[in-house]
Chain A
């Protein structure tokens, strides 16, 4: 579904060139829920932004389905973002001037889909994620968890190939975070969504099928969940501890 090959990215600033991603390759299959973890500064956000072409990369390829994203023009990229990718940001990025319902409908509005369809679909997601009671409220009037679930619903509207989420639970308390993870799991189960999530939170990551650990811009480990969630979480904590970061801030 999503395939990244030999991705390189460095930031250039006045003093020099800082390589951030070094030959990163990975693959995500349809319906898979994958997390990326790693110490702060290891390049997780950069990886995500390169995959979505929010920022340009230096070399390597990003394939989505059978489409190579690296050399698409702006016009085509916009279409890919609208039809084949969904985004969830740490700070929600909802438009304050639009109600929850309108925010959710936005991708379909941009695509010019018929009204009846988008309303039905948005209602379905809201029920699924338990935010149907607040559909006519505005972002300023709802909680962080509700905002993020709204964002997840928005990301799902056009049945994207992949949802890219950068620390979707980063700004949330554990209960709200769990609700967002539940929303992802629901999406995975009910509409076969593919989810690629960056997170610091081993608890959140323990719900995933697979976890990719990044260190200094390289893939350090890949762990596939086999047994119970609790065991998987302990395994993750061990790996992170071995990275040198103290487990506390990752737990």
Chain B
């Protein structure tokens, strides 16, 4: 028998503890890595716009999940040390050197960590693939969306593993460094009672939590709208108010404040209160992590859903499904080519109409940032850029809406349901013919909604009376004029191949006349050149079908809804998938953590239940006590986490434009459904944990 063999035997006898620790480490690495493998894979990366909101959100939610996984793993190591403490204490009492024990502990820890991290990293590949396949069944139906994982995704996994190893090492060091043997021998009974806390803790916690959310999501919008001040990003730290509020709420739950002051209640709950005595802090921390993870779970689900519920362009659009605008002098495809191509695909062209529009120089009122970007200012921008104008008759034909515009007024063409912030629909006050330099004052005459036309011009397209239009465009050069083509096909849902074919013909015919970036404006460029300045949007773009960003950044990109819809569907799939993935990861983390906690509550207190039985407590009483403990693991965090997730989603929706729109209401309703589902899943885990815990406690 050697020391080595003794260690081996001791390890064998507490194999469960090693497995539990290893499992927690492996799981958190697995969850993270399977996500990053997918996220950094080319399929997802190609779709997400650089620096976009979704990337930020994915990173943020991921960050919170990582923190959650990290904390629960460190927590698991705490349980492990607790279990080991007696063994180590006895060994030290018998004269084993601390240094030796430290070495042993580190060997064991690094072994467990290395093996489980490796297992997590390796398993991440199949797990990531399987989850993708499951999503494929429901969401994606496109051969562009095959699963390609990115090796770069291993990097965060490896980094996380290293961090974890460091943290576990530090925890181990702290454990072994503890000053005297008695302390180590008695670790399991060490009291960490939270102090008696004042009665206002709970109400204060609730107030802080709610106001943190409301302030964080509402105040910046409010201040921007009313005081025209833009708050710096650091303001997001107000969310910490919510976090501290949550901590207070949990603290008051754990310390069973009310029960303690009421004597009758105190005695009724005596055993439960005493159970908290040894691990109140750990329980509170643990609940915090659960709440955080649940919040992430709900919010991620909600965020993904917002996208998938955005109104379906194909159905909501009464206008034409196909539209193009290009410089008048461009020899583009016309009615004939379109008809021929449609025939090739067995489609009928409907509602074909074409007309010219003119770009006139506008002077308008806008809202903009001041120079250092801290305040909003109302500015009058004089003769700064052009916008597209059409006559009332042409507008009638193009849009199918009957309008009449009074001479001397204009009507603004916006997208459906437009909400103004930076641009005012009635901001325009003067137009100028860029060639004759003649100007006219105009007054606002109303708003027209036409998505197709509004999309062709920034900030809006405008409609003039026939007479004004003729007068103002007289003598203007053709470089300011565009040709507009609108049409539909009978069976739009089957028009994807037709649209792609047409698009490639359009791209083929486009010459340098059309070669402009999305933000390009002819007048802006002319002014810049005149002033000898560099014009930022003057560069040429790659006008070829191989450029998959072409439609996103091309002034004269044709708008074929079916293509947009398809592209958007893919984008949405990616968004939804990312969000659901994070939702799943956090749910899995919560489930495992709650289960592990439940089991350890039962096994830590096996002695207590045995004593209770000997004192004559029946199964019902014991079960009640166990239930009270598990409630702290399941019910309270579930209620708080889900409630917070909903509140936050609601506040985001309410404050981003001051109202809850139809889709937002729908999304919130579905979120309620998801929360219900999460609760059902948690209830399942709860039932299972309860059964297992009863078994362990011998009830």
B99 touches A75 (CB 8 A): yes
Q: How far is the CB of A154 from chain B (nearest CB, A)?
A: 8
Q: Among the listed stretches B34-42, B88-96, B609-617, which one makes contact with chain A, having 4 or more residues with CB under 8 Å of it? A: B88-96
A78 touches B98 (CB 8 A): yes
Q: Which residue of A lies closest to B99 (CB)?
A: A75
Contact of A80 among B10, B13, B95, B98 (CB under 8 A): B95
Given A54-B181, A55-B180, A109-B1, CB of A96 within 8 Å of CB of B94: no
Q: B74-109 CB contact bits vs A (8 Å, 1 = yes)?
A: 000000000000110111111111110000000000
CA distance A54 to B2 in the complex (A): 26
A107 touches B94 (CB 8 A): yes
B14, CB-defined interface residue at 8 Å: yes
Complex contacts, A85 vs chain B, CB 8 Å: 95
Q: How far is the CB of B7 from chain A (nearest CB, A)?
A: 10
A240, CB-defined interface residue at 8 Å: no
A251, CB-defined interface residue at 8 Å: no
Q: Which residue of A lies closest to B97 (CB)?
A: A78
CA distance A96 to B89 in the complex (A): 13
| Chain B positions near chain A (C-beta within 8 angstroms) | 1-3, 6, 9-10, 12-14, 86-87, 89-99, 179-182, 185
A106 touches B13 (CB 8 A): no
Complex contacts, A119 vs chain B, CB 8 Å: 1
Contact of B1 among A75, A79, A93, A118 (CB under 8 A): A118
Query: Chain A CB within 10 Å — which of B6, B94, B97, B181 has the most?
Result: B94
B95 touches A79 (CB 8 A): yes
A110 touches B94 (CB 8 A): yes
CA distance A138 to B99 in the complex (A): 28
Given A78-B92, A98-B10, A102-B6, CB of A115 within 8 Å of CB of B180: no
Query: Chain B CB within 10 Å — which of A49, A54, A154 has the most?
Result: A54
A111 touches B97 (CB 8 A): no
B180 touches A82 (CB 8 A): no
B93 touches A106 (CB 8 A): no
B182 touches A49 (CB 8 A): yes
Complex contacts, B180 vs chain A, CB 8 Å: 54-56
Given A54-B180, A95-B87, CB of A75 within 8 Å of CB of B97: yes
Given A78-B95, A81-B93, A115-B1, CB of A54 within 8 Å of CB of B182: yes
Complex contacts, A112 vs chain B, CB 8 Å: 3
Please classify how large the interface on chain A is, using the bins under 10, 10 to 19, 20 to 34, 35 or more: 20 to 34
Q: How far is the CB of A101 from chain B (nearest CB, A)?
A: 8
Contact of B93 among A54, A55, A97, A118 (CB under 8 A): A54
A110 touches B95 (CB 8 A): yes
Q: How far is the CB of B343 from chain A (nearest CB, A)?
A: 83
CA distance A74 to B13 in the complex (A): 29
CA distance A76 to B90 in the complex (A): 17
A105, CB-defined interface residue at 8 Å: yes
Sample of 29 A–B contacts (CB below 8 Å): A54-B180, A54-B181, A54-B182, A56-B179, A56-B180, A74-B97, A74-B99, A75-B97, A78-B95, A78-B97, A78-B98, A79-B97, A80-B95, A85-B95, A93-B90, A93-B185, A97-B9, A97-B14, A97-B87, A98-B9, A98-B10, A98-B13, A106-B94, A107-B95, A109-B2, A109-B6, A110-B3, A110-B95, A154-B94
Given known contacts A74-B97, A80-B95, A97-B87, what 5 new A-B pairs fall within 8 Å (CB)?
A: A78-B92, A81-B92, A87-B94, A97-B14, A110-B95
Given A49-B182, A97-B13, CB of A110 within 8 Å of CB of B91: yes
A96 touches B95 (CB 8 A): no
Q: How far is the CB of A198 from chain B (nearest CB, A)?
A: 14
CA distance A60 to B606 in the complex (A): 42
B13 touches A102 (CB 8 A): no
B1 touches A82 (CB 8 A): no
Query: Chain A CB within 10 Å — which of B1, B13, B87, B180 has the most?
Result: B1
CA distance A98 to B12 in the complex (A): 10
Q: How far is the CB of A41 from chain B (nearest CB, A)?
A: 17
CA distance A78 to B10 in the complex (A): 21
Given A81-B93, A82-B96, CB of A55 within 8 Å of CB of B10: no
CA distance A79 to B96 in the complex (A): 7
Q: Which residue of A lies closest to B89 (CB)?
A: A93
A residues 59-118 near B (Cβ < 8 Å) are 74-75, 78-83, 85, 87, 93-98, 102, 105-107, 109-112, 115, 118
Q: Which residue of A lies closest to B90 (CB)?
A: A93
Q: Which 10 A-B pairs rank lowest in CB-CB distance, beginning with the nearest?
A: A82-B95, A97-B13, A81-B95, A78-B97, A54-B181, A97-B10, A110-B96, A54-B182, A93-B90, A55-B180
Complex contacts, B90 vs chain A, CB 8 Å: 93-95
CA distance A118 to B3 in the complex (A): 13
Q: Which residue of A lies closest to B15 (CB)?
A: A97
Q: How far is the CB of B89 from chain A (nearest CB, A)?
A: 8
Complex contacts, B9 vs chain A, CB 8 Å: 97-98, 102
CA distance A87 to B6 in the complex (A): 20
Query: Chain B CB within 10 Å — which of A87, A115, A158 has the most?
Result: A87
A81 touches B94 (CB 8 A): yes
B93 touches A109 (CB 8 A): no
CA distance A85 to B98 in the complex (A): 17
A82 touches B94 (CB 8 A): yes
Q: How far is the CB of B2 from chain A (nearest CB, A)?
A: 6
Complex contacts, A158 vs chain B, CB 8 Å: 95
CA distance A105 to B6 in the complex (A): 10
Q: How far is the CB of B14 from chain A (nearest CB, A)?
A: 7
Complex contacts, B6 vs chain A, CB 8 Å: 98, 102, 106, 109
